[in-house]
Structure 1
């Protein structure tokens, strides 16, 4: 009996050593440090990206840092060029980049971007000072509207949306935090955002002044859903901002974490595993991160999944369509 216990112990130690050796070998092609592109300060991407990178770094014992960027369009191109290891993007800019229509790298088909995990639905909404009398998108006619940094989802899609709806609005690019202050200074009449709710810049504005927060009319929503397939119906949730006591119907666009097609499969697998299997910790990053759950992979209609992501999802019972396997 004693001999059997000894053999079992030796076997367990050998197995542990083999596992460690395998783990070390498995990480041999992992970069020593990695970078994730987020967006400008004051936006949800900035907060979400920092929290996600910190979680992944701690759980996998790696060095994953974040970098302030212009947002989705720039992030897609940075990943395509191999300048960033990971990036945060909405589906619209990603799809356009894949088709060679990126405003950052026009004419270059971004064939090397791959989806990693679902983030959350970026909700389109607007804010203006109550004293302006602006309470609807139609009221923005002839006004000056901040749309965040160039290359972001807002700066790309909000002007298109307003033009499609027939409103003559002057849209102005700029840092999210800066534009919140410009509204108070009278340099802007309103502020548009598509992101996780609450957006820090709007919450800050709301804490300093009386603010109207609004979105599209039902007729406008129906027209937008027909014109822009990457949009989906959504609600700006009650309580998302202090002044919202009921849901506000609007549209949204899903966000995904992306990486390069050449990223090590084992690295991407472990990143997906870490995020998807720690949903409670992820949800603490930001209210919108409650949507960062495996089931929401189905909201990806444009970006091929990285093989490492495909492996984790399919091992856990989620079927990835063949045309979305990168």
Structure 2
């Protein structure tokens, strides 16, 4: 699992905008890494845009070289972070739980317990997109044998959306690929549906609706409840102003995302990373609007993974978090 670092930002001098914060974290930096990578997902998805943004922010503010890597998404990020091939990554609670249990398909039987939670990101809604010309306006309209793109193999979307479709009685041909690639296939008539699980707005969907007429399919109340009863998701509504295509809020379900770190990283380093991200939400929202949920009070949405000690300290000191000792790595 070796990947090309796509974005790298070197440190500035004491005259850069990040100098003050970098200086604030000068203490006990002797064991910090000189560079870092953040495992994201495919280009065209929210993970890549969001992950590239916070990687660059941290690199700039802490005076390090760091950036994002294209990966297969949450499942692969758990493996990369657990082994230390990536210092940081991003995952959703479902894939995290499976990885901790040893059922991650990338390494069956390996309990990936050396990946720790460091901060809450946002909820990932599950949504369905088709071309308006397809005539598909509901899940029940999806024809037997429809060619559905579920995102990169091993991603949250690919792990859960096929199961959800089966739960709702949809028969389909499963296709995988990056979100940009699948968007192109939908436009070219090579796919009938794309089943997105990504923070909204999904860049690939925003691009699609600029280029052609699309339908964003919502779940019925009955379908929503059926999925909630069967999977680790909660009720969610995609607000109408998320996409120009939507005229009203769209009923959906969602799963929480968390940033993760290798549990062996120095506590002071992880604490500084968390402080950089969580102390400037306005800048994070400027990176991607999904970061409107990247708030200290959402620390309690992690009910699956152990916290990195450096991150736990930050949330206890700055968000009044009451994290049990047995939920902190090494505690």
* Deviation, structure 1 residue 215: 2.5
**For residue 119 of structure 1, what is the aligned residue in structure 2?**
121
Tell me the TM-score normalized by structure 1: 0.91
Kindly tell me the number of residue pairs found equivalent between the two proteins: 306
Aligned pair partner of 1:243 in 229, 242, 245: 245
* Deviation, structure 1 residue 55: 1.0
User: Structure 1 stretches of 5 or more lacking a match?
Assistant: 1-19
Q: Which moved more, 1:67-76 or 1:20-29?
A: 20-29
Q: Assess if the C-alpha contact under 8 Å between 1:266 and 1:308 holds in 2.
A: yes
Deviations 1:176-217 (A, max 9, x none): 101101011110001111111111111111111110001221
Residue 172 of structure 2 corresponds to residue 169 of structure 1: yes
What secondary structure is seen at the aligned counterpart in 1 of 2:125? strand
* Deviation, structure 1 residue 24: 4.8
Distance 1:44 1:23 in 2: 29
Distance 2:288 2:24 in 1: 35
**For residue 312 of structure 1, what is the aligned residue in structure 2?**
314
What secondary structure is seen at the aligned counterpart in 2 of 1:26? coil
Structure with the largest fraction of helix: 1
* Deviation, structure 1 residue 324: 2.2
What secondary structure is seen at the aligned counterpart in 2 of 1:123? strand
Superposed counterparts of 1:5-44, under 5 Å: 24=26, 26-44=28-46
Q: Assess if the C-alpha contact under 8 Å between 1:116 and 1:272 holds in 2.
A: yes
Distance 2:72 2:218 in 1: 23
Aligned pair partner of 1:232 in 221, 231, 234: 234
**For residue 185 of structure 1, what is the aligned residue in structure 2?**
188
CA RMSD of aligned residues (A): 1.5
**For residue 286 of structure 2, what is the aligned residue in structure 1?**
284
What secondary structure is seen at the aligned counterpart in 2 of 1:159? helix
Distance 2:80 2:256 in 1: 20
Superposed counterparts of 1:1-326, under 5 Å: 24=26, 26-142=28-144, 143-228=146-231, 230-316=232-318, 317-326=320-329
User: Structure 2 stretches of 5 or more lacking a match?
Assistant: 1-21
What secondary structure is seen at the aligned counterpart in 1 of 2:31? coil
Tell me the TM-score normalized by structure 2: 0.89
* Deviation, structure 1 residue 22: 10
Deviations 1:124-161 (A, max 9, x none): 10110011011112222421111111111111111111
Deviations 1:63-111 (A, max 9, x none): 1211001111111110111100000111111110000000111111111
Distance 1:21 1:219 in 2: 54
Q: Assess if the C-alpha contact under 8 Å between 1:124 and 1:215 holds in 2.
A: no
Distance 1:287 1:49 in 2: 13
What secondary structure is seen at the aligned counterpart in 2 of 1:73? helix
Q: Which one has a bigger Cα radius of gyration? A: 1
- In the superposition, relative to structure 1, how do residues 22 and 237 fare at CA in structure 2: closer, same or farther (>3 Å)? closer
